[in-house]
Chains A and B, each alone.
Chain A
Amino acid sequence: MTQTSKPTIDRRSFHAAGLTTFAASLIGCSNEPPTDEGGIGRLEAVWGRHGVVGARIHKPRAIAIDGRDHLYIVDFTARILVYDAEGEFLRSWQTPESENGRPTGLTFDRSRDQLMVADTHYYRVLFYTPEGELMEDATIGGVNGKGRGEFGFVTDAVRDADGCVYVAEYGDNDRIQKFSPEGEHLKTWGAHGTEPEQFRRPQNMTLDAAGRLWVCDACNHRLQVFDTEGELLSIWGEEGSAPGGLYYPYDIVFDEAGDLVLCEYGNHRLQKFSPDGESLGVWGGQGRDPGRLWDPWALVRDSTGRLHVLDTGNHRIQRVAT
């Protein structure tokens, strides 16, 4: 019989080791704040519970913010959910139809205090009061087709200072259509393709302070900037995953300095750019932890400069202080 020698351990060292392990496990369990990669922001809060009823959300795909910093989110159940900036649930309502598919674009028109909903799979833009009342007379589109005022998959709508509405669409006809404040068709530009002034899935649009229309040309991994008459002013962006590269830019916001923050669906991150396309840093990266993103679709910026990112694949919202 062989005798095995047991390592001896005295009580003090045993307790010391135990304490160390316990402390280490505590640290391991804590929600480690994300690293401030590139210095464009710091995670402030993560909220939202996965679910299909009440305040819970399932695969949210578009977000908008009003003047009171209330967030409007549309999820995969076709509900438009309203929260305050801290994530407190306020109310919700449902779009009229959702069997074919759910809306994928929201914009809050502060000039008229209306929520514009890109009802993607019903080829139309719906207008709601902040309380959720549908303004049926204001609806633009509803007919699938390539003609004037007809749409493919509608992705986003914005209103300029003159009250004109721009509607982006993709599918068979990737283009932008401009409508008068009364809803009359004024102009169409763009087509499916990779050339300048062509689009592949123009997923989102934003008007900057100067009234220029910025279009996230998602599948071409670039931004195109137009004036309100559809003249191309600038175009930039290269497919890539390194800082400076773009991979499916899905949404865009401007800060007060005129810099822009992009939400990259394919790179699962936010990236800040100067207006001429110089990368100023990134935030996020693919993952399930706080501070990481999974297929983010959209973002908004509130009155205090904080960013609210729709972390679609994780069914939650992350708030980033810049």
Chain B
Amino acid sequence: MFDTSLAFDSRWWLAALLLLPVFWALSYGGLSGLGAGRRIAALVLRSLVFAAIVLALAEAQFTRTSDRLTVIYLLDQSASIPEAQRDAMKSFVNASVRNHRRSDAGDRAGVIVFGRDAEVELPPVDFNYEMPRIESTVDRQQTNLAGALQQAMSLFPPDAAKRVVVVSDGNENVGDALREARLATAGGVSIDVVPVPLPPRADTVVDKVAIPADVRRGQPFETRVVIDHRTAPGQQSAGSEQGVLRIVRKRGELEEVLSESPVTLRPGKNAFSIRETIDEADFYTYEARFVPGDPKADASSQNNVATAYTHVRGKGHALVIEDWEHPGEFDRLVDALKGEGLEVTLRRSDRLFGSLADLQRYDTVVLANTPRTSGFGATPGGVVSSDSISGFSDEQIAMLVRNTEELGCGLVMLGGDRSFGAGGWDQTEIEKALPVDLEIKAAKVTPVGALCMIMHASEIARGNYWQKRIAIEAIDALGPRDYAGLLSWNGSDQWLWGQSRGGMITVGPSRNQMKARVDRLTVGDMPQFDPSMRVAAAAFAKLKNPTPATKHMIIISDGDPSPPSGRTMKAFTSQGVRITTVAVGGHGPPGHATMQRIANRTGGKYYEVRNAAALPRIYQREARRVSRPLVKELNPPLAPQMMLRHEIVQGLSPVVPPISGFVQTTVKDSSLVEVILRSPEPKNAESSSVLATWTYGLGKVAAFTTDAGARWANEWTGWDNYHQFFSQMIRWSMRPTGDTGNFTLATEVSDGKVRVIVDALDKNEEFLDLPTISGAAVRTGGDQSLSFAKTAPGRYVAEFDAAEPGSYILMVNPGAGQPMIRSGVSVGYSDEFRDRETNRPLLESIANLPAADGEPGKVLTDEAGVDFAADTAGAQLAAVDPYRRDLAPAVSRQPIWPLLVLAASVLFLGDVFVRRVQVGFEWLFGGVDWVRRRLGGAERAAPEPATIQRLRRRKAEVRETMGGEDTAASGRFEASDAPLPAGDSPLQEAPTATKPQSDGRTGKPTGKGDGLASGEKPAEEGYTSRLLKAKRQASRDRDSDE
């Protein structure tokens, strides 16, 4: 499978090896002292070091040539190919791999499927894998062959020749496959193609809907629809097709059918036109759809519709959202605004907008006494079903705020007892956008509330999760001075916190701790309500200093604990504790009756929750009942004071009619906030604002805290300036509708992307510099922000993905001081549905590109002499071998110089070792002997001859007569091996050496006196002691001489 060899990148370095003999000559003399063996060893090692360094310098590489082949199949799964043929690709690949892949050569096969994107269905593997089906899901709306080729290139392993087999109709509409193929073939990849023929079917394509670029209100214009009727080859004469052409005009949710008539299409282009007039300013989408009389005669239905888009500017358009539970409260206001020439759409809060795109029709949004959530009903004790609770979702609130902050739309909140803080808007994004905060911070005496929660494990799915979420929401909704307690069953009825302090403690310092405890809460199955309710009633009774003004309890349960006793209920009613019961799970009437009775008896509300997502809303609302009241009633009514001459009160007398109430707020501490009207009561200027405004991001926001005449501003309805006041307020808030005279906005749709091009000129036709230009493309179902790049003086270009057909509203904010540019673009069906013929020329050109050092690819269908047909694709096409060996074998190279350098270092050490260290091998023989002895029997020493035995015996006798074993060495002038006693100087040894030694190694005492006395030299007499003795003897001789 592999051929391996060594190659060099810098061969001329190898010439240095010729220096080896010189090297030897120089070294030979220098190593003469080592002996022959070591000298040769050192020379060899030295030569190897030299050779390794030379090879490293020559950049030696280890090369492996393999005849392996990797084939990657690229399967086009885009929508232009009929499904049967898409499926057939799988059997073609299976058959091709099965018939031709050479296991012995280690060939690999991989599969990539592609549409707009490319997915690896099967990475290159060297075994046969029969794909049962194609698993990867790709975006079929486009064909990106170039992307698939790129993907394949990244997938090829380096140790094999590379081939791609493209199975496609060649109708690419993203990228440039030919260019990518050139790059691939230059890199040695061969490309075979299998053109997929498209069935010859007639197809009707709605090419476009054309409307003039500049449509004006009231001016008739022509809407043209162009339909291309393509007949199948060979059916030219059959020609015409019957069908119905339907032209629809859409604005917001409104859909008007402009024309619906039967038409007959001739082969080729057919144009139809209708005359149209637009009376109201708005965003309009025109849609033309052709419904063929015989659907089978039409190859694809996706291309039977086209849209066009226009925006007719006009006077401002306001969206007024009113509470669905109290409809009609703002009819007078709506009439007044219409009377002042504004366009007004009134919507109920249960039919809200679904996307940011829906809001683009409007220049301002008015929240008219609308709470965040409605549907709680008005009667205490009545049944409230979670199904009826509806309101603004967090997403919708975020949309409203983004619409103002980023897209410049106005936002007005009109008061009433269900607005501002009283409507539950506190702690939402809306509060951030308003010029006022929704809680009163400045009140001198704030009444406190007390909230007790009883949690019972419910049988609903994720019951524990919902209970935690609810408890946390409730804790968040309470003020810092409010009391909170939570009772649950955990083996017994237990408070979750503050057990030693009665269970209900003020939220302020402990809020985070409480939430942390809730997070760890596990709720058990409470057997009965009574004990926990008794505990709660006792806790309420103990709350003093301060005594809470509102006492509220919430029980969440599936209703199956045993009901409380009459005495317990009385303890609550006598204290004025209102109990709200929330029945979750569907235990049905018995439990529900118990819980409803508890609520009824105490004047609380009873909720039936079928949708757990509604639970936090209920708890928020119920917890809010505990927090302080925000509505300020004025009795007698007082006239608000005008603090400021503002555009809104332009032309009005400074004296406005009195009001009898408003919702208290706190004016935000910002220099942008302008308080225009304030109530004389309360005296505190911060919390008495009636009308305050500011600019939030790009949009203007107004907060009018009293109502528009339903309850508190009754006297305003008769006021002459009522219409003027409100219309001026709404107009002020509207986003500037200014003309875009100096800006031109153009769009281009290609490759599934939309390019937005803005050309900006100032009044003198000079290019404008817009450093902060930004924008967004919004459509139903999502929006994308536009980031502009300056491509030329005064030209700014942004691009966004528009894979889905439909209308996009474009909002461009050129920067501070410039009005928003609003436009739209209609993205039609994908080009995928436009082409009805196989692009053979492209596929053939790709196949004809020769791979580097190899043959060009093949058109496999031509080789096999068949077409790629759904039923026979596998068997017939598989006759052509994509694993043929007509490519240069793959060569993989591995540089080995680091290894050579490492080897040289090690060998160099060896050289030093050989020269510096002499190794004796005697021990080796001893070792061999020992091993032999150990192995026993066979290797036992031969019996000694009798003469030797006699000699040994005689020797032993002599040794004995001479005084023991220690005399054995006496004939040698060698130091004893015995160690000296520690601490003793060798110099002290002489006098003591004659003493009897107790150390066994130095010999046993003989018992016959010491060795010197007997004239024998003791074995332990060392060299030093003898030297010392000689010295003393010499000294004595000298003394005697003297």
Instruction: Give A residues with C-beta under 8 Å from B.
Output: 76, 99-102, 120-121, 123, 144, 152-153, 170-174, 192, 194, 200-201, 203, 218-219, 247-248, 265-266, 268, 286, 294-295, 313
Contact = CB atoms under 8 A, between A and B. Distances in A.
30 contacts: A101-B459, A101-B558, A101-B585, A101-B587, A102-B459, A120-B560, A121-B587, A121-B588, A123-B590, A152-B590, A170-B562, A171-B563, A171-B590, A171-B591, A172-B594, A173-B590, A192-B562, A194-B565, A200-B528, A200-B530, A201-B527, A201-B562, A203-B527, A219-B527, A248-B527, A266-B491, A268-B491, A294-B491, A295-B524, A313-B524
Contacts of B593: 172
A120 B591 CA distance: 12
B492 interface: yes
Contact of A99 (B491, B530, B586): B586
A266 B561 CA distance: 14
B126 interface: no
B633 to A, nearest CB: 42
B528 A100 contact: no
Contacts of A174: 562
B589 interface: yes
B525 interface: yes
Q: Is the contact region of chain B dominated by helix, strand, or loop, or is it mixed?
A: loop
Interface in B470-491: 491
A172 B587 CA distance: 13
B767 to A, nearest CB: 68
Interface string B833-872: 0000000000000000000000000000000000000000
Interface in B547-570: 558, 560, 562-563, 565
Interface residues of B, number: 22
Contacts of A76: 459
B562 A266 contact: no
B590 A172 contact: yes
Contact of B562 (A102, A219, A247, A294): A219
B130 to A, nearest CB: 32
Contact of A295 (B491, B587, B591): B491
Contacts of A192: 562-563
A144 B560 CA distance: 14
A289 B560 CA distance: 29
Nearest to A247: B492
Nearest to B461: A99
Contact of A201 (B491, B528, B585, B591): B528
B525 A295 contact: yes
A219 B588 CA distance: 22
B810 to A, nearest CB: 48
A55 B558 CA distance: 28
Contacts of B588: 100, 121, 144
A266 B587 contact: no
A29 to B, nearest CB: 26
Interface centre among A100, A121, A295, by most chain B C-beta atoms within 10 angstroms, is A121
Ordered nearest first, which 4 A-B pairs have the shortest CB separation? A171-B590, A219-B528, A152-B590, A100-B586
Contacts of A219: 527-528, 530, 562
Contacts of A201: 527-528, 562
A170 B527 CA distance: 11
Contacts of B565: 194
Nearest to B591: A171
Nearest to B530: A219
Interface string B512-535: 000000000000110110100000
A171 B585 contact: no
Interface string B580-610: 0000011111110110000000000000000
Given A172-B593, A174-B562, A201-B562, A100 B587 contact: yes
A76 B461 CA distance: 11
A266 B558 CA distance: 20
A7 to B, nearest CB: 30
Contacts of A248: 527
A7 B856 CA distance: 83
B586 A153 contact: no
Nearest to B458: A101
A172 B527 contact: no
A63 B590 CA distance: 25
Contact of B590 (A102, A144, A266, A294): A144
A11 B155 CA distance: 60
B217 to A, nearest CB: 57
Contact of A144 (B562, B589, B594): B589
Nearest to A76: B459
A247 to B, nearest CB: 8
Given A121-B587, A218-B527, A101 B594 contact: no
Given A101-B558, A171-B562, A219-B527, 19 more contacts: A100-B586, A100-B588, A121-B588, A144-B588, A153-B587, A153-B591, A171-B594, A172-B594, A173-B590, A174-B562, A200-B528, A201-B528, A219-B562, A247-B492, A266-B492, A268-B491, A286-B491, A294-B491, A313-B524
A101 B491 contact: no
A152 B594 CA distance: 11
B598 to A, nearest CB: 13
B823 to A, nearest CB: 52
Contacts of B527: 201, 203, 218-219, 248, 265-266
Contact of A100 (B524, B525, B585, B594): B585
Contacts of A268: 491
A120 B586 CA distance: 12
A172 B527 CA distance: 14
A172 B492 CA distance: 23
A268 B528 CA distance: 16
A317 to B, nearest CB: 18
Contacts of B558: 101
B607 to A, nearest CB: 17
Contacts of B492: 247, 266
Contacts of A153: 560, 587, 590-591
A128 to B, nearest CB: 22
B103 to A, nearest CB: 42
Nearest to A265: B527
A20 B594 CA distance: 61
A174 B591 CA distance: 12
A201 B671 CA distance: 65
A147 to B, nearest CB: 13
Nearest to A194: B565
Contacts of A194: 565
Contacts of A144: 588-590
Contacts of B590: 123, 144, 152-153, 171-173
Contacts of B491: 266, 268, 286, 294-295, 313
A265 B528 CA distance: 12
A146 to B, nearest CB: 9
A295 B530 CA distance: 18
Interface centre among A144, A171, A192, A219, by most chain B C-beta atoms within 10 angstroms, is A171
B298 to A, nearest CB: 47
Contacts of B585: 100-101
A294 B491 CA distance: 7
Interface centre among B530, B588, B590, B594, by most chain A C-beta atoms within 10 angstroms, is B590
A248 B459 CA distance: 21
Interface in B642-698: none
A219 B529 CA distance: 10
B527 to A, nearest CB: 5
Nearest to B489: A295
Contacts of A200: 528, 530, 562
A295 B588 CA distance: 25
Nearest to A266: B492
Contacts of B560: 101, 120-121, 153, 171
Contacts of B589: 144
B492 to A, nearest CB: 6
Contacts of B591: 153, 171
Nearest to A250: B527
A269 B394 CA distance: 48
B501 to A, nearest CB: 23
